[in-house]
Structure 1
Amino acid sequence: MFFFKSSPYYVVFGGAVTVFITLGLNHSNGLFLLPITTELNSGRELFSLAGALGILFSGVGAPFFGGLSDKYGAGRTIFILGMLQILSWIWVGNINSEFDLFGSRILMGIGSSGMLGIALSITGKSINSENKSIFLGIIMASGSFGQFIMVPIINYFINNVGWVYSTFIASLLVTPLILMSFIISRNSKNFNIEENNQTIYQSLHEAISNRSYKLLTTGFFVCGFHVTFVSTHLPAFLSDNNLNENLAGFALALIGLFNIIGTLSFGYLGSKLSKKNLLSTLYSLRSLLFISFIIAPKNEFTVLVFSAVLGILWLSTVPLTNGIITDIFGHKYSSMLFGLTLMSHHLGSFLGSWLGGRMFDIYGSYNSVWWLCVILGFGSALVHFPIKSQPRIIRLKESGQLT
């Protein structure tokens, strides 16, 4: 049998496929904004708020499911989350009311909560090498590749068979997660975890008392705001500017394609250079890009250039952020600790999704939110500068708690 002999690289494979499916489908949600709001005869704020609540529940669930993964195993946790994702997409296809819209999006958020953190954590635990940052970059690149593949597929089906059938196709695309849960469970028996006698509660207390961890978590809020505002509202923004209806799906796919380059590149750079300085650079470049896009004419060329450059900066923050957490606290409870940081990311996502729709319904334009993206990006760049990635064992020695 192909998976008879246990190998850590099967864990990486399982984690990569998990992120490929979860992030790929999550980034297709914005394609459903116009058809669902038309079906329900509602404003964009309603869809945005439902999506934002789903993201919020995903953020709240991330440290919880991360803790379950650390304690009971990643395979079991991914199995549960995968089943919830399948049910959520089936529910989306049966939306008849506002209750269905909110309920399905909340269930979808819970189903995706912690998936990224779990995949990154099991990769970090299974790979014992100096190139760990590169493997984390591969995991994130798989999510970007998922966006590149999944978004055009869903966009094609929405335009050709309708949005309802497209949700059932999405539910079928989630089913490989069940197989991945068994592959990960079978091949994750002998993780290389450093000696750490902390309980999960002691680890949590240490993290929330650490200034660098709090700064990192604050900065990650901005990443969530940027990514979710763009992925949720870019399709409608392009439609408002009378651009081709297929351009939105292609633009989101292009972001995913170029983020493969970005995550692999910054994953490699993270093994060579200061991760916190790379993060400051990333957030600054995002703000400069947003300024350029705001003042540029809106046509197919500028949209494609914007999408390609944003793709390089898109989720390249994730392997660097996760890498700083494991540098500081080690791997034992890394799923939970990254999940807690991811909760901040999802709080930003909540605001990016909801505020985009709210501002549009009030002013008939997204301009104020684009400028807010600029301000937040520069702010996050400043927040990362004071971070210190001092490993836990060194901190204990310096404080006299370890000799």
Structure 2
Amino acid sequence: MTTQTNQQPLSMAQILLCGGAIVTLSMGIRHGFGLWLQPITQEMGWTRENFSLAIAVQNISWGILGIFVGMLADRMGAFKVLIGGSMLYALGLVGMALSPSTLAFTLTAGVLIGAAQAATTYTVIFGVLGRQIPATRRSWAMGVTAAAGSFGQFFMVPVEGALISAFNWSNALLILAAFALLIAALAFGLREPGFSSGKPPVREQTVGQALKEAWSHPSFVLLTAGYFVCGFQVMFIGVHMPSYLKDFGIAPHVASYSLALVGLFNIFGTYLAGNLGQKMPKRYLLSGIYALRSVVTVLFLLAPLSPWSVYAFSAAMGFLWLSTVPLTNATVAQIFGVQHLSMLSGFVFCSHQVGSFMGVWLGGYLYDLNGNYNMVWYLSIALGIFAALVNLPVRETAVARGTRPQGV
């Protein structure tokens, strides 16, 4: 039995309230970065690829550093990690506003904010949920927290658009830096009693044993491959959708509303996914989500482009947006347990962020090369079909320690 299970756990209401608020702020700020693409590139004289590369670096930084942040959170608890992440987030936003060159912009908007997001989002928060909430409610709780991230997008994207309009893009980023510091205050609600002594809890496995077990398990590899596609799709749409619409003469407010609709409908999608994950095989739910994303994208490209077709696409895609998050993380916890959940989730999420890097960067690169986003849309459709197929063979049975998992 680990150290933290010998002490009174945090209340579920406290975990969900503080964890949800942190994810709301962190994900909400992040989802609005696409609104800065045109103001920054036009004023600074940069290309879309310059901006896209910085956001792509942000995603890959988030993914790679998330592995090590997960290790720290498993060892030290979430509290200290969240405090540091809040400070990094504020510093990165200030640096993003004041960057005089593309290199400085990439280091601040990319590396610093990526590190901050690793320390203030799902990898860390889901670790708390896994340790403090019983398995019978875990998928549901992860769905609620992911829904909070969706509410952040619904609430924060219009706010960020209004800030840009009222104060210009650089001052808007400075205001967001103050929002990011609120994460540090909320972190006090996630001080886990098992880590209060400053000593890491006793574990059945070392880090090396946990990694060897996970990477030798076919289902972990399949979940990791599928999560790559999730990152590719959501970041391509989140960053490039406003510019895609403007290229076709769609009014700028439509882009803001469309991203807000994604966040609104994802509140329901992630909650429903987490709830269904307690009752149905998660692999079937994941496969269906990825397949539906491809169907929705095909229908959007075939329909005449108008504000209403954009809103319909955003609502449908929003319902599927982050619904993979609670299902994927709950499956990892179900198979491998929660002792190293933040670290293992960090590895799976790293794949998600490699996909995000490719979606953001290829969006800008192929646009500059071809003058349109067509190739990226087609690639997104094909990848959705791929992810639907690789999730089907996942086995959700908990591993038996000391035995090798059977192949899929």
Q: TM-score range by the shorter chain?
A: over 0.9
Matched, 1:111 2:116: yes
Alignment partner, residue 250 of structure 2? 243
The one of 354, 357, 373 aligned to 1:347? 354
Q: Is the 8 A contact 1:56 1:347 kept in 2?
A: yes
Q: Distance in 1 between matches of 2:273 and 2:11?
A: 26
CA contact (8 A) 2:73 2:342 kept: yes
Counterpart position of 1:161 = 167
Q: Which residue of 2 aligns with 1:200?
A: 207
Give distance in 2, aligned partners of 1:399 and 1:319.
Answer: 26
CA distance, structure 2, for counterparts of residue 68 and residue 263 of structure 1? 27
Unaligned runs of 5+ in 2: 1-8
Determine the C-alpha separation between the residues in 2 that align with 1:90 and 1:320. 35
Counterpart of 1:89 (choices 84, 88, 93) is: 93
The letter of the residue matching 2:394 is: I
Return the alpha-carbon distance in structure 1 between the equivalents of residues 305 and 178 of structure 2.
Answer: 36
Instruction: Map residues 104-253 of structure 1 onto 2, 5 A cutoff.
Output: 104-105=108-109, 106-114=111-119, 115-128=121-134, 130-185=136-191, 197-253=204-260
- Whole-Å separation in 2 of the counterparts to 1:94 and 1:181: 28
Post-superposition shift, 1:54? Answer: 1.2
Shift of 1:128: 1.7
Maintained 8 Å contact 2:94/2:174: yes
| TM-score normalized by the length of structure 1 | 0.94
Q: CA deviation at 1:186?
A: 5.7
Q: Which amino acid aligns with 1:317?
A: T
Question: Quick check: 282-291 or 169-178, which moved more?
Answer: 169-178
The answer for the alignment partner of 2:71 in structure 1 is: 67
Flag the 1:149–1:399 CA change in 2: closer, same or farther, 3 A: closer
* Structure 1 residue aligned with 2:298: 291
> Given that residues 123 and 342 in structure 2 are in contact (C-alpha distance below 8 angstroms), is that contact kept between their aligned partners in structure 1?
yes
User: 1:247 offset after TM fit, Å?
Assistant: 1.1
Tell me how large the CA RMSD over aligned residues is.
1.9
Residue-by-residue CA offset, 1:158-210 (whole Å, 9 max, x unaligned): 122210111011101111111122221166659xxx99510122111111111
CA deviation string 1:77-104 (max 9, x = no partner): 0111111000000111112111221111
- Name 1:18's counterpart in structure 2: 22
1:39-50 aligned at under 5 Å gives the runs: 39-50=43-54
Contact in 2 for aligned 1:276/1:384 (Cα 8 Å): yes
Preserved contact between residue 77 and residue 195 of structure 2 (Cα < 8 Å): no
Kindly indicate whether the alpha-carbon contact (under 8 Å) linking 1:11 and 1:188 is maintained by their aligned counterparts in 2. Answer: no
Looking at structure 1, the residues matched to 194 and 304 of structure 2 have their Cα atoms a distance apart, in angstroms, of 51
Structure 1, gaps ≥5 residues long? none
> Residue type matched to 2:259 in 1?
L
Match status 1:376 vs 2:380: no
Secondary structure, counterpart of 1:297 in structure 2:
coil
Matched, 1:37 2:41: yes
Farther off after superposition, 12-21 or 63-72:
12-21
- Give the TM-score of the pair, scaled to structure 2: 0.93
**Which residue of 2 is the match for residue 361 of structure 1?**
368
2:25 is paired with a residue of what secondary structure?
helix
Query: Which residue of structure 1 aligns with residue 5 of structure 2?
Result: none
2: CA distance, partners of 1:83 / 1:294: 41
Deviation at 1:49, TM superposition (A): 0.8
Question: 1: CA distance between counterparts of 2:135 and 2:220?
Answer: 24
What is the aligned length? 392
**1:10–1:187 CA contact under 8 A, matched in 2:** no
| Contact kept in structure 1, 2:262 and 2:319, CA below 8 Å | yes
Residue identity in the other structure for 1:50: A
Contact 1:131 1:271 in 2 (8 A): yes
Identity among equivalent pairs (%): 37
